[in-house]
C-alpha cells in the first residue's frame, strides 16, 4: 500500500479532539521524577528518559492487568494538592502542544485519597489545575477546552459515590462518568446503581468495554447500563463476519455509538496485533463512528500526533480520515451541542483547510 505522506509538523498543526485519555497515564516523565522525589516514592529509575522507556517496556506485556500495574508510580505522586495541581496544568499544556482543541480527561478520585484529601477536594484541585492550564494555553494562542470524566473503579464498590461527585460537579467542569480498571471478572452491570442514578440525573457516561473482554461486555455496557459511548470496543469486530454486521454491531453503527479507540494502547494490552490490522481502519470504512485516542500518553509513549502518524504511515489513512475521526469525536463529546458545533465549524474544519493550504500533501 502506498500511503500519502503527511509530514509531522502538518499533523501536529491539525486541530484534534481526544475523548479517552487518563490523567494518571499522561504525566510528564520529569514531573513524575520530581514529585516522587518530593514524597520519597522509589521509582524504577530517576532519569526521565529512562523512565519514559521503562513505561513503554513494562506496559507492553500484552496483558491489561500488567499494563494497569504500571500506574502505581503515577498514582503515588497524585496524592497531594501540589501533585494534582501541577499534573492537571501540565496535562492541558501538553494537549495544546499536540494540537488538541478539545479533550476529555478522566481519572478516578477514589485512587487519590492516600494523602488525606477528601473526594470533593481531589475534584476541586484537578479542576483548579485544569483551569490554570486552559488560561495559559489560551494566552499562548493555543486554546484548548478540557472537560472531565470521573471514573469509578470497577473492582471496588465506590462507583455510586463517584457518580454522586459527577452530579455535584457537573456545573464545575465535570462533563461525564466512566468505569475503569481490570475488565475481566468485573462486568459493568455490577455498577447498575451508579448508572441508573446518572441516567436519572441526565449525566452522560462511557464504559470501558470490549478491550480485554468480548461482546458480552459491550452488550451489557450499552443495553443493560445505558452507556452513550464505549471505551475501546475493539472486540465489536467479533460480531462482524465478512463485512456483515450482527445485531449488536448493527446497533453500534446504526445508533452512532462512538467507539473510543486507542491503537497503541491496544497493541500493548494485546487487544490488537498491529497498527496496520487494527480494527479502527475497518470499522471506519464500514461507517462506524470511530474516534482516535491516546488512552495513556506516558504509559504508551504516545501523543495524538503520533497516533495519527502511525495510521497514515501503516494503515493508509488520509487527511480526510483524520478529519472524520476528529469530527466524530466532537459529535459525541459530552459538552453541550452548541459548544460542539462551534468547535467543529469554527475551529476544526477551518483548521484542516489552513493546515493543508500551507503544507499540501506530497
Rounded to an integer, what distance in angstroms lies between the CA atom of residue 277 and that of residue 350?
31
Return the range that interacts with Zn ion (CB under 5 A); candidates 83-91, 291-299, 325-333, 335-343.
291-299
The DSSP output letter for 71 is T
Nearest-CB residue for Zn ion: 295
146 close to 105: Cβ distance less than 8 angstroms: yes
**Please, which residues bridge with residue 61 across strands?**
none
Nearer to Zn ion, 24 or 295 (CB): 295
What span, in angstroms and rounded, lies between the C-alpha atoms of 41 and 311?
37
Q: How far is the CB of 22 from Zn ion (least distance, A)?
A: 6
Q: For residues 110 and 295, which CB has a smaller minimum distance to Zn ion in the complex? A: 295
Q: Which of residues 293-312 bind Zn ion (CB under 5 A)?
A: 295
Catalytic, out of 90, 110, 211, 260 = 211
Query: Is there a catalytic annotation at residue 211?
Result: yes
Q: How far is the CB of 328 from Zn ion (least distance, A)?
A: 18
- Minimum Å gap between C-beta 210 and Zn ion is 12
Check: CB of residue 116 under 8 Å from CB of residue 48: no
Round to whole Å and give the CA distance between 71 and 196. 29
Cβ distance to Zn ion smaller for residue 229 or 340: 229
Which of the stretches 124-132, 151-159, 288-296, 347-355 binds Zn ion when contact is defined by CB under 5 A? Answer: 288-296
Q: What is the CA radius of gyration of the chain?
A: 19
Residue pair 104/148 in contact (Cβ under 8 Å)? The answer is yes
Q: Quickly list DSSP for 220-289.
A: IIIIIS--SEEEE-GGGGGGEETTEE-HHHHHHHHTT-EEEE-HHHHHHHTS-S-TTT-HHHHHHHTT--
Residue span binding Zn ion (CB under 5 A) among the ranges 47-55, 245-253, 290-298, 300-308: 290-298
Question: CB 185 → Zn ion: shortest distance, Å?
Answer: 17
For residues 86 and 229, which CB has a smaller minimum distance to Zn ion in the complex?
229
Q: Could you list the residues that contact Zn ion (CB under 5 A)?
A: 295
Q: Which residues belong to the active site?
A: 211
Amino acid at each position: 500500500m502506498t500511503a500519502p505522506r503527511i509530514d509531522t509538523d502538518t499533523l501536529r498543526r491539525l486541530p484534534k479532539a481526544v475523548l479517552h485519555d487518563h490523567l494518571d497515564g499522561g504525566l510528564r516523565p520529569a514531573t513524575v521524577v520530581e514529585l516522587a522525589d518530593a514524597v520519597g516514592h522509589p521509582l524504577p529509575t530517576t532519569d526521565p528518559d529512562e523512565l519514559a522507556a521503562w513505561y513503554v517496556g513494562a506496559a507492553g506485556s500484552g496483558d491489561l492487568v500488567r499494563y494497569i500495574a504500571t500506574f502505581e508510580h503515577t498514582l503515588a505522586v497524585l496524592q497531594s494538592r501540589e501533585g494534582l495541581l501541577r499534573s492537571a496544568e501540565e496535562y492541558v499544556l501538553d494537549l495544546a502542544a499536540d494540537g488538541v482543541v478539545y479533550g476529555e480527561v478522566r481519572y478516578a478520585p477514589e485512587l487519590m485519597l492516600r494523602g488525606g484529601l477528601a473526594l470533593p477536594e481531589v475534584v476541586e484541585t484537578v479542576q483548579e489545575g485544569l483551569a490554570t492550564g486552559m488560561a495559559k494555553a489560551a494566552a499562548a494562542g493555543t486554546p484548548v477546552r478540557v472537560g472531565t470524566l470521573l471514573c469509578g473503579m470497577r473492582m471496588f464498590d465506590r462507583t455510586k459515590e463517584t457518580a454522586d461527585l459527577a452530579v455535584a460537579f457537573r456545573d464545575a467542569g465535570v462533563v461525564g462518568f466512566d468505569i475503569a480498571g481490570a475488565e475481566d471478572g468485573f462486568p459493568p452491570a455490577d455498577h447498575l446503581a451508579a448508572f441508573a442514578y446518572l441516567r436519572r440525573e441526565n449525566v452522560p457516561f462511557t464504559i470501558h468495554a470490549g478491550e480485554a473482554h468480548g461482546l458480552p461486555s459491550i452488550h451489557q455496557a450499552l443495553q443493560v447500563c445505558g452507556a452513550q459511548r464505549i471505551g475501546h470496543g475493539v472486540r465489536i469486530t467479533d460480531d462482524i463476519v465478512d463485512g456483515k454486521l450482527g445485531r449488536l454491531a448493527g446497533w453500534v453503527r446504526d445508533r452512532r455509538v462512538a467507539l473510543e479507540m486507542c491503537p497503541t494502547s491496544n497493541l500493548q494490552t494485546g487487544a490488537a496485533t498491529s497498527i496496520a490490522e487494527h480494527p479502527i481502519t475497518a470499522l471506519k470504512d464500514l461507517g462506524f463512528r470511530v474516534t482516535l485516542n491516546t488512552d495513556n500518553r506516558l504509559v504508551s509513549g504516545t501523543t495524538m500526533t503520533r497516533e495519527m502518524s502511525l495510521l497514515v504511515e501503516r494503515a493508509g489513512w488520509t487527511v480526510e480520515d483524520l478529519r472524520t475521526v476528529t469530527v466524530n469525536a466532537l459529535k459525541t463529546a459530552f459538552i453541550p451541542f452548541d459548544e460542539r458545533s462551534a468547535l467543529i465549524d469554527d475551529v476544526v474544519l477551518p483548521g484542516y483547510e489552513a493546515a493543508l493550504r500551507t503544507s499540501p500533501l506530497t
